[in-house]
Chains A and B, each alone.
Chain A
């Protein structure tokens, strides 16, 4: 076998190539490691956390053990799940308006350079001013608390969608633009069949960032709004629990917020992959 390989390297691909085997093994290991390693880290962290609390006999109002946090999560589930729903509603609402507003403004910007030149700087100003500095004003002028929260979360979330989509709409291939012009495309046709598809990968990139940001926006806005009542989100539960030194509940609420963020990111990543998998470089697997 080795003699044949040495004599005729052209047939080497029919034989088992050790390099290729190693590559396949490496790929397989990487795939498994992708899931197993983070899971392992979580398990170890929880174990160490539990031991630290137990060995040092830390009181639960300083650092509760993981068991206590789970207990709080189960015991307060009724209250926490209601709050989770409120936070989710604000987050989703803000993300939705961010998509509509961001894409809408981006389309408007690309239709007219004058509009873009006039308003883009103000979009930037809105973005770079910390939301905690604007929020108190918003809650003074907006009576409805829900609307105020939505506005705050929207301000945080819409910019990545706006800037990414604007970039995407403007980066349609120049030769394709010429081609559309030769074939007599109307402004609407150019937008619908050339610019929007070109902008899709950029938009989806912005969307993934905006998903996380709208959750952050919702939480921060709630802190600033700071009022309680029935329709309180997770951020308010954390504030409230901290006043009462109910640290396990703080941890439980925090856990829910983090989990929500991860799930939003995962869903948006999936949406992005599904929309681009047929044609875009970012979603293609390399064959060699």
Chain B
């Protein structure tokens, strides 16, 4: 499948992935909660620019812990996490399972938040805000309050907020888990389109095999007790991926592989 020997302008496959510059590296990262709860053990991961990485695993496998470590909310007990490119304000953003919007602020003010924390005035970034809202298809709702929006729309605002600064890395912690399947499929498609547009790198935590195969080019499979990486799979299907991919034989084969890996992970974690 992998075919990196051709010097095409847009190479595909694993070789192309490996040729991208490094963005961030985790080496031998451990995290222990309390005295003896090993949430994460010896995690090694090189994140490259443009990657779409899914962390796939059962609950308790440390995938959310890994995200919290990368976002600097908690710090490793051992090992280290290093940014290989310069990290500036706005380089990193997160999307959580809940939309996590401020109910007292309009959609526009919610999306403005990352810039506000940088001390920028709204007027100076209003075009970025409008662009981000257009990206998620909510340009008409800039003055609405979160309570007026549906669950899917709230999540779109949350994504717009994460993308407004054109971050180098976006961390997503099961963002679509609470949504219905129709909305989730739509947001999956849109997310890929958005990622292409702002040329960012994404680490996406999920426990859905199908979601991870459709979205990512790298799937990191993790097991619980202790939380650890057991396998990494690659999905070589080139982007942009469309609905056709969802019904293709390749997709089914990738899902089978990922399912098997996940099953193995569950057995290990017992």
- A residues engaging B (CB < 8 A)? 173, 175-176, 178-185, 189, 193-194, 197, 200, 278-280, 284
Bound-state CA distance A200–B103 (Å) is 12
Which of A178, A194, A279 has the most C-beta atoms of chain B within 10 angstroms of its own C-beta? A279
**B96 A193 Cβ-Cβ under 8 A:** no
Does B93 sit at the interface, judged by CB under 8 A? Answer: yes
A182 in complex: contacting residue of B72, B118, B147, CB < 8 Å = B72
Residues on the B chain within 8 Å of A184, using CB: 89, 117-118
A73–B13 CA distance with the chains assembled, in angstroms: 92
* Across-interface contacts of A173 in B (CB, < 8 A): 100
Contacts of A183 in B (CB 8 A): 89, 93, 113-114, 117-118
Q: How far is the CB of B124 from chain A (nearest CB, A)?
A: 17
Q: Is the CB of B103 within 8 A of A181?
A: no
A182: B residues at CB distance < 8 A = 71-73, 92-94
Hey, which chain B residues are within 8 Å of A178, CB to CB?
Answer: 71, 73, 94, 96
Inter-chain contacts of B114 with A (CB < 8 A): 183
Interface SS majority for chain A: helix
Give the contacts of B123-157 with A (CB-CB under 8 A).
Answer: 145-147
Q: Per-residue 0/1 for B69-105: is the Cβ within 8 Å of any A Cβ (1 yes, 0 no)? A: 0011100000000000000010011101010101111
Q: Which residues of A contact B117 (CB under 8 A)?
A: 180, 183-185, 189
Least Cβ distance of A183 to chain B in Å? 4
- Tell me the residues in window 182-216 of chain B with beta carbons closer than 8 Å to chain A beta carbons: none
B95 nearest in chain A by CB position: A179
Range for the number of chain B residues in contact with chain A: 20 to 34
B241 at the interface (CB under 8 A from A): no
A197/B104 contact (C-beta < 8 A), A175-B98, A178-B96, A183-B113 known: yes
For the complex, is B116 an interface residue (Cβ under 8 Å from A)?
Answer: yes
The DSSP consensus for interface residues of chain B is loop
Known: A184-B89, A185-B117. A179 touches B100 (CB 8 A): yes
Partner of B104, one of A185, A279, A284: A279
Q: How many A-B residue pairs have CB under 8 A?
A: 52
Name the A residues within 8 Å of B96 (CB-CB).
175, 178-179
**Of B73, B94, B103, B116, which contacts A193 at CB under 8 A?**
B116
User: Are B98 and A181 in contact, CB atoms less than 8 angstroms apart?
Assistant: no
A-B contact pairs, 14 of them (CB 8 A): A175-B96, A176-B102, A178-B71, A179-B100, A182-B72, A182-B73, A183-B89, A183-B93, A183-B118, A189-B116, A189-B117, A194-B102, A197-B102, A280-B103
- Cα(A284)–Cα(B145), bound, Å: 12
A279–B114 Cα distance when bound, in Å, is: 21
B93, B96, B104: most-surrounded residue (chain A CB, <10 A): B104
Q: What 5 new A-B contacts, CB under 8 Å, besides A194-B102, A279-B146, A284-B147?
A: A178-B96, A182-B72, A183-B118, A189-B116, A279-B104
The answer on a CB contact under 8 Å between B145 and A181 is no
Contacts of B118 in A (CB 8 A): 183-184
A185-B117, A189-B117, A279-B145 known; A179 vs B103 contact (CB < 8 Å):
no
Q: Which of B71, B100, B117 has the most CB of A within 10 A?
A: B117
A181-B73, A182-B73, A193-B116 are known contacts. Are A279 and B93 too (CB-CB below 8 A)? no
For B71, list chain A residues within 8 Å (CB): 178, 182
Set of chain B residues within 8 Å of A175, measured between Cβ atoms:
96, 98, 100
Closest B residue to A176 by beta carbon equals B100
Q: Which residue of B lies closest to A192 (CB)?
A: B116
Inter-chain contacts of A284 with B (CB < 8 A)? 147
- Chain B residues closer than 8 Å to A193, beta-carbon distance: 102, 113, 116
Let me know if A179 and B94 touch, CB within 8 A. yes
A279: contacting residue among B73, B92, B100, B147, CB under 8 A: B147
